[in-house]
């Protein structure tokens, strides 16, 4: 038992803060990406109180693709594939078993992780997308499988386009994006 708790101790020091240029590029990318998704939401949806395209998982995607563009989780196949597959799974589970929500939610996230691993599209915000598909508003549920295309696929593609533009504006070779496509 003591060995188990000892494993939870630190093994190394915390890494140093990233350079201010990297921090600035990350902030600019996140701002532009989320702003464009919000603008798209306003253009598509006439109810200004329902920002359907602004799903919470896109905020987490922004952290990855603009803040850690070299990470495996941040690559285009992971970003788009992870969101789309997870949305498909979440919508399917909601349609098959809307109640109990706890069971549908847990299955949606668990199956999304398994499918993302199996397809090499693991993108942690995808788990949130699956959860949102199950627990989302009546407006998102009314979309059915259209939810997968808009807001999910379209929003992920907007974030990807901005990531391609912003991450490659920097002269720093470590901001080159993507590392790979497929």
Residues 6+ apart with CB under 8 A from 101: 134, 135
Question: Distance (Å, rounded) from C-alpha 97 to C-alpha 40?
Answer: 31
Q: How many whole angstroms separate alpha carbon 36 and alpha carbon 32?
A: 6
pTM of this structure:
0.92
Indicate the domain borders of the chain.
Answer: 20-175
Mean pLDDT by 10 residues, the chain (182 residues): 85 92 96 95 71 90 97 98 98 96 98 98 98 93 95 97 95 87 92
Contact 177, 163 (CB under 8 A): yes
Among 128, 112, 14, smallest CA distance to 62 is for 128
């Amino acid at each position: 038992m003591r060995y188990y708790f000892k494993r939870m101790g630190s093994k190394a020091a915390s890494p140093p803060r990233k350079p201010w240029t990297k921090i600035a590029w990350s902030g600019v990318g996140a701002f532009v990406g989320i702003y464009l998704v919000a603008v798209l939401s306003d253009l598509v949806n006439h109810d200004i109180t329902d920002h359907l395209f602004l799903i919470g998982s896109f905020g987490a995607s922004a952290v990855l693709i603009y803040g850690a563009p070299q990470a495996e989780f941040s690559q285009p196949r992971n970003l788009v594939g992870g969101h789309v597959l997870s949305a498909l799974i979440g919508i399917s589970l909601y349609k098959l078993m809307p109640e109990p929500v706890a069971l549908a939610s847990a299955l949606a996230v668990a199956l999304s992780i398994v499918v993302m691993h199996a397809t090499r599209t693991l993108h942690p915000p995808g788990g949130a997308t699956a959860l949102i598909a199950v627990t989302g508003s009546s407006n998102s549920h009314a979309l059915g499988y259209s939810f997968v295309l808009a807001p999910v696929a379209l929003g992920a593609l907007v974030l990807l386009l901005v990531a391609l533009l912003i991450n490659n504006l920097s002269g720093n070779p470590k901001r080159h994006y993507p590392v790979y496509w497929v």
